[in-house]
Structure 1
């Protein structure tokens, strides 16, 4: 087979000059030589073009595979992403001046997100991403990229000591204190004597809800477990005093606010607080997933129908028992307490967060519309692996 790029063989005729022309050739032979030269040039260009296209196609494939942009053409590839919500805890250090890609690589290396590309897309889609601060952030492994960005935007940064996020339970605070170096025996001994920590009588001897969410400049070698827990309780008492909550109402306010903290997206705290009041004023049970989740010790979306309806293995079931749970279900932040103290007027009895990524939540006082909202959430959950 003839190689299209090889030099054609001339069986007779005069030798070539260095210039590539022919001397002493007839006009017909000169025309034939020129045609051969043009053919070689065209063939060379075609083959070169094929090589470039092949290389470009490979580059385009690589860019498509990473979800990038090639010559202004946005590729449709969806990068690897976890469904979330994640497991365990991992401290991730966000360096000073880090951009989206810098954070993405750190989080991907730590096993927080499935791919840097997925994080960058979520970072660019979240309007609060520009406010993420440098420092040590506590996240979970195998989070969805959107959840990872949302968690970082809360800026619960461990700059000095112990961070207690809003909604944390006593069990979670205990685990974190022990994990950061406070001796387990000291923590458990302090928790066993809540009155010595300054817990007021209206709390009924239960610390749940009375540990103030904040960043505490405390270390195990300078602050004892009892001293730190005393500071946390005192901060809650001080805030309730500042907000003008009478002593006899404080426990109930904290219980309601803890439900709001764990149930409501930020922008819907007031409406959820109003739903709680409306249900308590009628024959409706509270029926809130966050309460069942607290007593079951697992995320609400992982609970089965049987677990949600269980009344034998848990001390309280909001789908079967009237009124508020006997204790708070976590530590509420100030915004949730304020929502409980002054909820907006409204007839709402039901609500459903129909999209866990955007936190879109819909409210109604009609059971038929509530069923429509539930179907909308189920459709979203099926599409997003929940």
Structure 2
């Protein structure tokens, strides 16, 4: 943007010297205009797009304003909500403000069910539209070769709708957004050694590393918990574990299969459920991820603590998790949880 923007500015200076100031609107404009700036667009390109859509009066005025604004060269590709007939300086000011972008924000740990609902709402689609498209087109959205084909997996895209902010327009199709999310997940996962992590922690390939990371994300209350939570998972999976005998016993997995978020779940309810995602009745990891982990949860799954943690309790019921190395220590933590009014 800086290079070509500078060239554009030279052109503007010549224009100004010969003809006077470039045509420009005054004020902040009116109404709402959705503008998409593609990747690789430079100052003059951006000005052209804005002029064609009635946002600014001339390309030269925009290029000048972009160069005069200290943040002008930081304008990125994306979708912006601007106004009609804005002064060039106001347009630039608005575009360097993140709030002007029309973004779909997916929080870390979001389950796919919630992501599908967000997409439907953002695009004003009938509820269930995106979920249906995801189900019918999952194999066409760019999943990596190592993605599991396990028949017990609830949603093959779970763990691949990467938590981030995505630009959308009114014309964006759900499958296009899903494809972007899967592509972003692939990019992030390629940055780390998933194969090496799987071998190191005796997992069956990258798929299980992502699954472990999703459990870390779901059970960890704070980022400080993540590495300890990852160690709990790996310690419980060990064949030598005689404390829980390879049962993870995570409420988050039971909540996932029931699409709920309960803190107190009756043991009778849990024990009668034999679903593969119920880690109280099924040994080992869930068949697939139970959400979309962020970078920190993934990093924790790759590099857990090595302190001997095997138990944990959310002692305040919501925000605080405490860890224990023995069953007796666990019982003391459980007493703290049971004492909550």
Q: 1:288 to 1:180 in 2, by over 3 A?
A: same
Unpaired runs of 5+ residues, structure 1, are 1-156
Aligned pair partner of 2:289 in 328, 337, 343: 328
Aligned pair partner of 1:196 in 125, 129, 140: 140
Q: Give 2:168's aligned residue.
A: 218
Q: 1:276 to 1:232 in 2, by over 3 A?
A: same
Is 2:219 the partner of 1:257? no
Q: 1:302 to 1:377 in 2, by over 3 A?
A: closer
Aligned pair partner of 1:277 in 234, 251, 254: 234
Instruction: Please state whether the residue corresponding to 1:167 is helix, strand or coil.
Output: coil
Question: Within 1, Cα distance between the matches of 2:263 and 2:301?
Answer: 25
Greater Cα shift, 184-193 or 207-216: 184-193
Alignment: residue pair count: 223
Larger RCO of the pair (alpha carbons < 8 Å, separation 6+): 2
Question: Within 2, Cα distance between the matches of 1:271 and 1:335?
Answer: 12
Alignment of 1:1-386 (within 5 A): 159-181=101-123, 183-184=125-126, 187=130, 188-204=132-148, 206-219=156-169, 221-246=170-195, 249-265=205-221, 266-281=223-238, 282=241, 283-312=245-274, 314-356=275-317, 359-380=319-340, 382=341
Unpaired runs of 5+ residues, structure 2, are 1-98, 150-155, 197-203
Instruction: Please state whether the residue corresponding to 1:222 is helix, strand or coil.
Output: coil
Provide TM-score, normalisation by structure 2. Answer: 0.61
The CA deviation at 1:182 is 5.1
The superposition leaves residues 307-357 of structure 1 with CA deviations (integer Å, 9 ceiling, x where unpaired) of 222324x33321121110001000000000000001111111101121245
Question: Within 2, Cα distance between the matches of 1:311 and 1:225?
Answer: 34
Question: Within 1, Cα distance between the matches of 2:100 and 2:293?
Answer: 19
Question: Within 2, Cα distance between the matches of 1:316 and 1:273?
Answer: 18
Provide TM-score, normalisation by structure 1. Answer: 0.54
Question: Within 2, Cα distance between the matches of 1:249 and 1:234?
Answer: 20
- Is the 1:158–1:215 Cα contact (8 Å) retained in structure 2? no
Question: Within 2, Cα distance between the matches of 1:252 and 1:284?
Answer: 15
Q: Which has the larger radius of gyration?
A: 1
Q: Which runs of 4+ in 1 moved over 6 A?
A: none
Aligned-residue Cα RMSD (Å) equals 2.3
The superposition leaves residues 191-233 of structure 1 with CA deviations (integer Å, 9 ceiling, x where unpaired) of 31112110123223511111100111113x2321111100100
The CA deviation at 1:243 is 1.5
Question: Within 2, Cα distance between the matches of 1:160 and 1:310?
Answer: 46
